[in-house]
Amino acid sequence: MPRGVVPRQPAKSGRHDTVRSTRPLPRPQRASVLVLAPSTTSPKKRGSAPIKKSLGDSKGYNPLLPERIREILERLDQLYPDVSCALTHGSAWELLVATILSAQSTDVNVNRVTPELFRKYPTVRDFAALEPEQLEPDIRSTGFFRNKAKFVVGAAKKIVKEFGGEVPGSMERLLTLPGVARKTANVVLGTWFKEALGVVVDTHVTRISRRLELTKNTDPVKIEDDLMKVIPQKKWILFAHQLIWHGRKLCTARAPRCAECRLENLCHAADKTWSTVEIHKSAKP
């Protein structure tokens, strides 16, 4: 007798229809997902009967159609008409420091640290006079504080030595600063200098762009290239801020609040928590 199988008892009906086994049950197949039927009622009423739709990409579907992009942008404008960078700052230098500190941290966390930091060291020259070790205790709570201290002090020294103490307003020069890649440069250029030279691609922009099928890439530089092709340049700055806010409020990494999302019927993300439209298995974060 195979291991794990308990001898069956004769069924009263005469049919041997049950066998008790200690073997684990087979895992459910992931061939299909439940998608709720389109409803004219409020999405909050979730009692409607679910229907099954096949998991997969619709043939011929083009997520980059200009009409769809326009609709996404319009809805984002309605949801987040006037959003800007959430990092507290009073100068280009403060914004640069805050952006460097925000890597692998939250804006809330950074905003807790920076007011005291900028009171203690009010100018870029004050930072340039430090050794990284002196800065470490002040920024410890933002994580990766040793590297960040090196970047901030290194950037300050370079700005003082090569740019006369002023944060440069060009992509080319910003990218020469320690700890500054395109994301940080785009934040400073877009938010402070109002120069739309690229799209800020952070973790929220990456996740939502992929869920909305605006890109299939995972590399931030390639994602930025994809977004720059489909989003009008005059929208680059605002669009990134809108996705960042959307990512914080609704389209969170875990359990996005799709039933409350105004983009819901334009979104085919594989990990939606509620849907009135077909799910596309490739549309995932």
Q: Which residue has the tokens 């931030």?
A: 220
Active site residue 45: no
Least distance in angstroms from the C-beta of 42 to ligand SF4: 15
Give the active site residue among 148, 157, 202, 226: 202
- For residue 56 the two structure tokens come to 């997969």
Task: Report the residue number, 111 or 265, with the smaller CB distance to ligand SF4.
Answer: 265
Q: Virtual CA dihedral for 112, 118, 124, 130, nearest 10 degrees?
A: -90
Task: Report the residue number, 8 or 257, with the smaller CB distance to ligand SF4.
Answer: 257
Least distance in angstroms from the C-beta of 244 to ligand SF4: 13
Distance (Å, whole) CA 48 – CA 154: 58
Active site residue 158: no
CA distances from 226 to 126, 153, 188 (A): 40, 33, 21
In the chain, where does DSSP find H-type helix? 66-79, 92-101, 107-120, 124-128, 132-139, 145-162, 171-174, 182-187, 203-211, 220-230, 236-249
Single-letter residue type at 137:
P
- Using CB under 6 A, which of the segments 24-32, 102-110, 122-130, 263-271 binds ligand SF4? 263-271
Give the active site residue among 157, 183, 226, 272: 183
Of 278, 214, 277, 221, which Cα lies nearest the Cα of 243?
214
Question: Among 213, 267, 279, 280, which residue sits at the site for ligand SF4 (rule: CB under 6 A)?
Answer: 267
- 264 counts as binding ligand SF4 under rule CB under 6 A: yes
Question: Among 211, 226, 240, 279, which residue sits at the site for ligand SF4 (rule: CB under 6 A)?
Answer: 211
Distance (Å, whole) CA 19 – CA 11: 10
Least distance in angstroms from the C-beta of 136 to ligand SF4: 37
Distance (Å, whole) CA 127 – CA 179: 15
Task: Report the residue number, 174 or 263, with the smaller CB distance to ligand SF4.
Answer: 263
Least distance in angstroms from the C-beta of 97 to ligand SF4: 31
- 272 counts as binding ligand SF4 under rule CB under 6 A: yes
Distance (Å, whole) CA 214 – CA 226: 7
Task: Report the residue number, 211 or 241, with the smaller CB distance to ligand SF4.
Answer: 211
Least distance in angstroms from the C-beta of 271 to ligand SF4: 7
Residues of this chain, 55-114, that bind ligand SF4 according to CB under 6 A: none
Distance (Å, whole) CA 158 – CA 55: 53
Known catalytic residues are 183, 202
| Interface residue list for ligand SF4 (CB under 6 A) | 208, 211, 250-251, 256-258, 261, 263-264, 267, 269, 272
